[in-house]
Homo-oligomer: A and B are copies of this chain.
Amino acid sequence: MSAAALDTPRRERNKQEKRERIVAAARALFSRKGFAATTTAQIAERAGIGAGTLFLYFASKDDLLVAIFREQMDAVVQRALATLPKRGSLLDEFVHVYGAMIVFHERDPELARAFVKEMLFVSGRNRAAVFEYIDGLDAQLAARIEFRQARGELDASAPARLVAENCFALYIARLQKWLGADERLASAEHIARLREAFALQLRMLEATPPRAAQRASQPKRRR
């Protein structure tokens, strides 16, 4: 019956609220004492639930971490996409978005390290969520490529989506290297490296399409 769907039954509401409490407790403890040093028992206690209950909401401690991070990352990406530089190049836009994520991770490298390590290997419902998030990001950046392709600024024969996916891979690789290092580079330096890598991938888009007209409209002088 539809009435049941309308009113949020007591059970559902309790569950949702309990989930929030767990997330809040975990967030506070993780950032105060670090991921490894926080025990699930402490989280449960702070959330006011039994030690076992936590695992009815999250399959594992790692799973909990991923769930927390994903929400925050969503916000970061959304904000970055909303503030794209107006007059910048495609490369600038890519660096703007991924740079924002790097800055975010810089706030708490130990957490970020644990997160990245788990993110790509989670299973269950969270795995789908993670990949949806990545797909969304890829799609948005692919759209930026296609926009320029449509205006004739870039080689329209290149598969925009695949290029965007490659850039995500480059970002992750850089991030892993950065987070894994004993002595971490300043994020400015890190972003500069990322820019280099992106430039190398995106340069392909500037190539004259194999068959298409080569800027015939532009009065280019030949010797």
A: which residues have CB within 8 A of B? 113, 117, 120-123, 127, 158-159, 162-163, 165-166, 168-170, 172-174, 176-177, 179-180, 182, 196-197, 200-201, 203-204, 206-208, 210, 220
CB distance from A141 to the nearest CB of B (A): 14
Q: A197 CA to B201 CA in the complex, in Å?
A: 10
Q: Are A182 and B123 in contact (CB under 8 A)?
A: yes
A200 in complex: contacting residue of B113, B163, B168, B179, CB < 8 Å: B163
> Which of A122, A158, A200 has most B Cβ within 10 Å?
A200
Question: What is the bound-complex CA distance between A123 and B36, given in angstroms?
Answer: 15
**B residues less than 8 Å from A122 (CB atoms):** 180
- Smallest CB-CB separation from A113: which chain B residue? B121
- A111: shortest Cβ distance to chain B, in Å? 13
